[in-house]
Structure 1
Amino acid sequence: MSKERIVSSGSTDSPASLYGPASLSLGVVAFLATVLSGYLGIAVPLLAGCLAVTFGVLGLVNGTNRGKCVIGLVGGAVGFLYPVYLMIALSM
């Protein structure tokens, strides 16, 4: 019997493939922190929203996990823009 050697071609994952899940999770955190901003303050949704938007854009440019990137981008945009809107509206 001949023994065939199984050679794996290596992992096709790269660190850039994690932009989608990171954007999605940070977008959800930003959205939930926006809902609870009366208790948490506005720093959490602003920071998580900025990171979610950044990772979402990088993921869309990279082209992997586009659905997760779009959901994270929208959640991050809401998490970032709603507190900014409140600051502008309440300062007038």
Structure 2
Amino acid sequence: MATGSADSPATLYGPVSLALGAAALAAAVFAGLLGIAFPLLFGSLAVTFALLGLGRGLNRTQCVVGLTTGSLGLIYPVLLVAAWG
């Protein structure tokens, strides 16, 4: 790895949070079939990676989208359980 290079594992926080956020939303839509564990897991990981990426300042747009979709993936099953409980 060259000195001063922007290549590091931290550059992947944005794309990973975006992918996990999309997976959380998709799993939240099918929460009745899959259960709520998948959207909660994917959503919490997406939020974590998005916050780490925002802290590093790399791929901010992808981190914000990952944070938003991950948060929605977290909130939807919780509200679903609260409505039925």
Q: TM-score normalized by structure 1?
A: 0.85
Where do 1:7-18 residues align within 5 Å? 10=2, 11-18=5-12
Q: Deviations over 1:45-72 (max 9, x none)?
A: 0000000000011111110000100111
What SS does the aligned partner of 1:12 have? coil
Counterpart position of 1:70: 64
Q: Which has the higher helix share?
A: 2
Amino acid in the other structure paired with 1:27: G
Partners in 1 of 2:81 and 2:33 — Cα distance? Answer: 16
Tell me which structure has the larger Cα radius of gyration: 1
Structure 2: gaps (5+ residues): none
Counterpart position of 1:6: none
Structure 1 residue 42 displacement after superposition? 0.6
User: Any runs of at least 4 consecutive aligned residues in structure 1 with deviations exceeding 2 A, and if so which?
Assistant: none
Where do 1:74-85 residues align within 5 Å? 74-85=68-79
Amino acid in the other structure paired with 1:51: L
What SS does the aligned partner of 2:58 have? coil
State the aligned residue count.
Answer: 83
Structure 1: gaps (5+ residues): 1-8
Please, what is the CA RMSD of the aligned residues?
1.2
Q: TM-score normalized by structure 2?
A: 0.92
